[in-house]
Amino acid sequence: MDKTVVDLLVKYNSTVNEKMNAIIKTLTPDEWNRDLGGFFKSVRALCSHLYVSDYLLLKRYFNLRDFKLGADAFFSREYKFLDLLFPEVDEYISARTELDGKIRDFCAELTGEDFTHVLKFVDSRGTPLEKNFGGALLHGFNHGTHHRGMISLYLEQMGKANDFSPLMQVVEK
């Protein structure tokens, strides 16, 4: 893992979230909250989990060293991984857009040396862990891709065409 790969993943993450949000914005309140049968029952539940997970992982990455972004008041909120947020679609889109900006800002602060360090943190079950920082960061991006795939399936079940997979759309020559 290096800065070039992170920059690509940040660009992909932002681009695909914008595409996804454009479709989600068209959902009715019934579609936003519809029980579609998965562990996360609705698009709202999946989006809430994706938002909370990205938020908490980003806060966890601040354990690596003193990041300027870590002092931002935005990160004073407390969430749990299964919190159900955003009663309205527009609330989610606004919050998601802001969080994606924070992710971009965080990744802009990263240096090549950061990828050589170990991230020490306590997971959501209270277990202390030590992981390679690059791998931990990659986990966050992969987690988002996983849940966007689930959102994609839910949207397809509702007849909403979508495609959030093409990483190649942000690869430059």
Which tens digits make up the pLDDT trace of 15-64?
999 999 999 999 999 999 999 999 999 999 999 999 999 999 999 999 99
pLDDT tens-digit map of 82-118: 899 999 999 999 999 999 999 999 999 999 999 999 9
In a domain, 106, yes or no: yes
In a domain, 170, yes or no: no
What CATH number should be reported for the domain holding residue 111?
Answer: 1.20.120.450
Long-range contacts (CB closer than 8 Å, 24 or more residues apart) made by 86-94? 86/44, 86/47, 86/48, 86/51, 87/44, 88/29, 88/32, 89/24, 89/25, 89/27, 89/29, 89/32, 89/44, 90/25, 92/21, 92/24, 92/44, 92/47, 92/48, 92/51, 93/21, 93/24, 93/25
Per DSSP, which regions of 9-159 are E strands?
Answer: 118-122, 128-132
- Measured distance CA(118)–CA(164) in Å, rounded: 31
pLDDT tens-digit map of 123-147: 889 999 999 999 999 999 999 999 9
In a domain, 168, yes or no: no
Residue 20, judged by CB atoms within 10 A of its CB (0-12, 13-18, 19+), counts as buried
In a domain, 82, yes or no: yes
By the 8 A CB rule, do 103 and 62 touch? no
Per-residue confidence (pLDDT) for residue 17, from 0 to 100: 95
In a domain, 146, yes or no: yes
User: Is the entire prediction scored with pTM above 0.85?
Assistant: yes
| pLDDT exceeds 90 at position 164 | no
Q: Which residues constitute the domain of residue 139?
A: 3-163
In a domain, 99, yes or no: yes
In a domain, 68, yes or no: yes
Structural domain count of the chain: 1
In a domain, 169, yes or no: no
